[in-house]
Structure 1
């Protein structure tokens, strides 16, 4: 036997409408408009006002999204393989060719071991990091899920800031966890041929700065992905800025050409990865940029691109 209690509609627009239906003893269902409001609570902050999600909640949401996407896992695996693999490869090639290497070449390797143990691996791993940075935002545009993200955060800028924070922290931590073991493995392969130690200030600076460098590269790629909103176009653009444009700028003549090359973002940031001897011997010496100044230049470029991306994100339709 089924008994239905008529629904009651209170006066005023703020009232809730509901009905209770009992189907036999012990079984009842209830549906109210307040249930929908409760389900939407996942998009609001913990204050209960329903205004906006707090930044901590946004970061948790972005972390859940980024770790559940296969491209994140594969990008990090490729980054680890490239970073460790190229470091080990450069150290092994150096050992095999040590007997036939010229005195000048040996002096260069002994004088700046960072060109063997840090720079090759990190420079190779940044390719995977750049792809990851693009995919974090462009992947949502390609699937259409960006609409729900923007619906949950009408302000839009906090959503981009949360993505940047989560991506930067993830890349920084993973890089630091693999660069140090990679360096130690390479140093063990070189043995007594090249005397290198973490106690060397240049080595310690490069190992600790590598995480910051790749984190900024990831954020740079995130900004490009937000600007272009197309996965293939953004990846092509970022890889061109990393691999192609610097090789063209280095051919510019005169002091102006040197300045343009030195302050180009993907070039300036690499100053943290090389020693003073390598900087002086580069095609366009970065004498005006110390390692930390180079990182600052990359950070300024990245901040400017992210600011432009945030501005366009607010103005454009999804």
Structure 2
């Protein structure tokens, strides 16, 4: 008497994990974090709040004393003034996206599903960049919509030009890249406290330290160091200036900082145990 064996069916669709599915998984995790909502809310509130405060508080007498070159760019500068604080917020978020998984142990589940690890890291970077870019563009565009009518009533030219559009996109690009830069640092250091300290140190404290050293010394090459810092180039992308650099050069500076952090983070992610 023979025993019939029921055929087994392989659900290959469950075992075939594609990169779009990894991205979708990271998006679900990203949007479920409380820190995501609160970080972007802070960027929105601070960005629009500071722009509104600057636009309404600056007197017409000060505007009248501005040179023509400063008058033409001041509207965009006011619209992107909150970027100084927005970059700090998204830098913290970039660190928390990876360090939070290490602290809870969820990173081991991610790597169990995707043993190659790199797709997980790339997917995190894509989700983080796209979300930060969109928020940066929205906040800066809304800031311009607030600053333009207020400052035009005080005698400033607030016409929307091609340069204005590029500055709004540049602000979003910078927030997106600086968040990925912080993601790389968080992956290297793993700990939230260390990653946040490193990210804020590079973005916020490093320019201050370099300027202090420049004021105390007379080293010629050191005077050009601020031009190559990620925050200086990022502010230039949002309509500011950075020496005589062209916009593409400022993009390159920010991209190099981001690429170095991201590549080193990816190497550490592959070589160390979870």
How far does the alpha carbon of each residue in 1:95-152 deviate from its partner, in whole angstroms, 9 at most, with x for none? xx324x3853475652321564233122221121111111111111111111101111
Summarize the Cα distance change of 1:9–1:301 in structure 2 as closer, same or farther, 3 Å threshold.
farther
* Higher Cα Rg, which structure: 1
Distance 1:157 1:235 in 2: 22
Q: Do residues 158 (structure 1) and 122 (structure 2) align?
A: no
Answer whether contact 1:180 1:207 (CA < 8 A) is retained: yes
Q: Do residues 120 (structure 1) and 81 (structure 2) align?
A: yes
Gapped runs of 5+ residues in structure 1? 1-7, 17-33, 46-52, 280-284
Using structure 1 for the length normalisation, give the TM-score.
0.77
Summarize the Cα distance change of 1:143–1:195 in structure 2 as closer, same or farther, 3 Å threshold.
same
The structure with the greater share of residues assigned to helix is 2
1:63 to 27, 30, 54: 27
The structure with the greater share of residues assigned to strand is 1
Question: Alpha-carbon deviation of 1:176?
Answer: 1.6
Summarize the Cα distance change of 1:208–1:102 in structure 2 as closer, same or farther, 3 Å threshold.
closer
Using structure 2 for the length normalisation, give the TM-score.
0.89
1:94-173 alignment, distance < 5 Å: 94=58, 97-99=59-61, 101=62, 103-105=64-66, 109-114=70-75, 116-173=77-134
Gapped runs of 5+ residues in structure 2? none
1:262 to 223, 227, 234: 227
Distance 2:220 2:4 in 1: 79
Question: Alpha-carbon deviation of 1:85?
Answer: 1.0
Answer whether contact 2:137 2:171 (CA < 8 A) is retained: yes
CA RMSD of aligned residues (A): 2.4
Summarize the Cα distance change of 1:89–1:116 in structure 2 as closer, same or farther, 3 Å threshold.
farther
Aligned length in residues: 267
1:112 is paired with a residue whose SS is helix
Summarize the Cα distance change of 1:115–1:191 in structure 2 as closer, same or farther, 3 Å threshold.
closer
Distance 1:9 1:154 in 2: 37
Distance 2:70 2:146 in 1: 17
Distance 1:114 1:291 in 2: 18
Summarize the Cα distance change of 1:184–1:245 in structure 2 as closer, same or farther, 3 Å threshold.
same
Distance 2:150 2:202 in 1: 33
Answer whether contact 2:77 2:239 (CA < 8 A) is retained: no
Aligned partner of 1:89 in structure 2 is 53
Answer whether contact 1:118 1:206 (CA < 8 A) is retained: no
2:191 to 226, 230, 255: 230
Question: Alpha-carbon deviation of 1:186?
Answer: 1.2
Distance 1:198 1:117 in 2: 14
